[in-house]
Structures are given as C-alpha cells and as structure tokens.
Amino acid sequence: MGFLNFLMDYIVPFLFILTALVFVHELGHYLVARRNHVRIEVFSIGFGPEIYGWTDRVGTRWKISAVPLGGYVKMFGEDGMWDEEGKEKPLNDEDRAVSFPHKRLGQRFAIVAAGPIANFIFAVVLLAGLFGFVGNPSPLSGIGMVQPGSAAEEAGIKVGDMVLSINGEAIELFDDLRRIVSGYPGAPLKLVIRRDGVESTVSATPKRHKRIDKNGKEFEVGLLGVAPDPNHIRYERQGPLNAAWMAVEKSYELSTQILVALGEIITGERTAGELGGPLRIAQISGEMAQGGMANLIFFMAALSVNLGLINLFPVPMLDGGHLVFYIVEFVLGRPISPRIQEYGFRFGLILVLLLMVFATWNDLVHLKVFEFIKQLIV
C-alpha cells in the first residue's frame, strides 16, 4: 500500500505534467513544420521501444515509448542526408520539397523556435484560465520551506508557522513578509508567529544579500530564507482581459526569476546544490497535486516556462543550439559544415548528460536517499 500511495501521489502527477509539457513542446515543432510542408516521420512521447502507436493518413507515426522522460518529432531529412565524406545525398524533387534541411533559413528557424514558444503560450493559457476561473493566487504568510543555515532556521522558525506581524506591523500575505524583510538586511526583526494555535515572538536577523537593479547599481536586501506554504493561498478571480494580461506578466516574472537564479548560481551567490532534477520535480509535483488542482496548474505553468527557457539556451542538442547555428548561417551566408555541427551536438549531449547527472545527485542528497541507504546497511 505504501508503494501504491507513492506511485499515485508522486509518480503519476509527475508523469502527467511531463507528458503534457513535452506534448505541447513537440506539437509546436510539428504544427509549424506541417505549415511549412515538412514531412513528419515520427511524433514520439518518450524514448526507446514503442509501447503503443498508430500511423495517420499523411504517414506520421504517432507513438508512446517506454521511457517517459521527454519526446521528439522526427522530420524527414534531419539525419541521413549526408554521406561519410560530408556530401549531400541526392534527392528527387518530391522528397526535396518536404525535406527539413532544404527549407529556407527562416522556415527552419521558425520550426525550431516553435517548441519553446509553444511552452510559453501554454503557460500563459494555463495561468489565464487559473486567474479567470479560480483566481490570482496570493500566498498567505505561512511558511512552507525553511532553508538550511538561513536566518529563519537560526531564529527557530519552522515549516507550518504563520507569521502574523513584523516589528508590530500586521501582515497577511507572503509578499508583505518579503517586502518588510528585504528592507532590513542585517537588522534584527521581531516576528509574531502562530504555531499549532499558540502565538509567540521570535527575533530574526535577515542575512545580507547583494543584488543589481535595472540600472546596474548594486544594492542590499535582507533574506530570511523561507518560502510560502502552497497550502495557504488566497485566490482573487479576474476578468478575461485582466487575467490574460496578468498571465503574460506572471510568465515574464517567472522567466526573469529563473534567469536571475541561474546567474546567481554561476556567480557563486547561490549554491549549485539548488539545481534540481527529475526526482525533485517528481517530489514537488506530488506536493502540488496534494495541495489541489489550482496549485498543480500553477506549477505546470511555471515548469512550462522553465522548459521553454532552458530549450532556448545556446547549447547544441537543445533548440537554442540549433537557432545559434542558423544565426551563424545567416551571417556567413552558408550553412555550417555537417562535421562541425556533429561535433557541436556531441559536446552538447555530453554537457546535458553531465548536467542531468549533477541535478539527479543533488536530488538524492536533498531527499536524503544516501542517509536512508546507510541506515539500511548499518
């Protein structure tokens, strides 16, 4: 029963979210490719051996594969178009007309960019629906996560606490907590919290954190090291136009937060241990699903923005790497040689695999899997 609960609470929501996002991403490639008269040979959800599939009237094989961690659209001409010497294999006029490599540069660019763009559009649609039918989620001042070694942990703040006031100022929303705390870097604050129905006062000193504003000037903010509780959220329904605009704004905000966080990891302001992989995503998927459908939809939208953004990074094997090759082709006036592209894709594959291994290692450490195994051995 324990394994069955784990399967239904964590694995099923994770696979549902991942399958939906991969389908949307690949559908973006597919629709724009078909619009530009490219022959689609395979549309696969997952990798590896086919579990179930069918062939449509235009010859595309739609299938679900054994390893449900991604997917792909295989377009005619993407591989096997060059011989061992790097020379293009001859094609008849009919095949050339539906071959992806023989499309104009602008068409190829649009087809590749359509995947990430589809993820951004999907996020906006999800958020607009959420804001319109359920409401704009405003997290209350409950604590859902306390970062190890943070000012909150040192002050004795725990997950489940509700912050009622700071320095005598009553607060209700997590944004109020963030606003006040950010203005007191290194200064002690008195927080009134409620824990298990009992109110108490704690003293916390937000840690100093440097940030850079839009004009390039450096400034300090205070950080407690806490995150909102997804189970304590207030919703305010919006009209259709306002919901759509708020969805665009929220998608932009999520994109900015992701880029800022990655920049801080690169510069050392954050630890690389914050990078999460599939296990962490599965854990959060389960927690969001248990928190209700609204939480799950918001998480799916945030993950869709994440997927679209990451795929635009200029790394071979990702869509962004292909787009960089096309930009270089536009500048040079000719395509990059197949051999250089092949080396680039090999490098990109190694980089992506290393990143996945590193993120999965972080997941295992975060979920304390090694401690659990050690207890079993001892």
| 92-127 residue pLDDT tens | 778 888 999 889 999 999 999 999 999 999 999 999
Q: Of the listed 26, 84, 154, 169, which one is catalytic?
A: 26
Q: Which whole number is the average pLDDT over 174-185?
A: 90
Strands (E), the chain: 40-55, 61-75, 136-139, 143-146, 162-166, 169-170, 189-195, 198-204, 207-212, 218-223, 226-228, 233-236
pTM for the structure as a whole: 0.74
Residue predicted with more confidence, 200 or 231: 200
Distances, alpha carbon 260 to alpha carbons 44, 176, 286, 301, in Å: 33, 21, 26, 18
Asked if pLDDT for residue 365 goes beyond 70, the answer is: no
Quote the pLDDT of residue 60. Answer: 94
Is residue 199 annotated as a catalytic residue, yes or no? no
| Mean residue pLDDT across the chain | 82
Instruction: Give me the half-sphere count of Cα atoms (radius 13 Å) on the Cβ side of residue 122.
Output: 28
Phi, psi of 317 (to 5 degrees): 95, -30
Specify the residue for token string 């591989």.
Answer: 79
Q: Which whole number is the average pLDDT over 243-272?
A: 80
Cα(178)–Cα(186) distance, integer angstroms = 15
Asked if pLDDT for residue 159 goes beyond 60, the answer is: yes
Quote the pLDDT of residue 6. Answer: 57
Please say whether the beta carbons of 71 and 115 come within 8 A: no
Q: Choose the weakest-confidence range: 63-67, 93-97, 156-160.
A: 93-97
> Residue 132 gets which letter from DSSP?
I
Asked if pLDDT for residue 358 goes beyond 60, the answer is: no
Quote the pLDDT of residue 220. Answer: 86
**pLDDT tier, 43 (very low <50, low <70, confident <90, very high otherwise):** very high
Q: What is the pLDDT of residues 296-316, one digit of tens each?
A: 888 888 889 988 988 888 888
Specify the residue for token string 């304390």.
Answer: 368
Asked if pLDDT for residue 133 goes beyond 60, the answer is: yes
Domains and CATH numbers, the chain: 103-135+237-378 (no CATH), 138-235 (2.30.42.10)
Residue type at 276? G
Quote the pLDDT of residue 34. Answer: 95
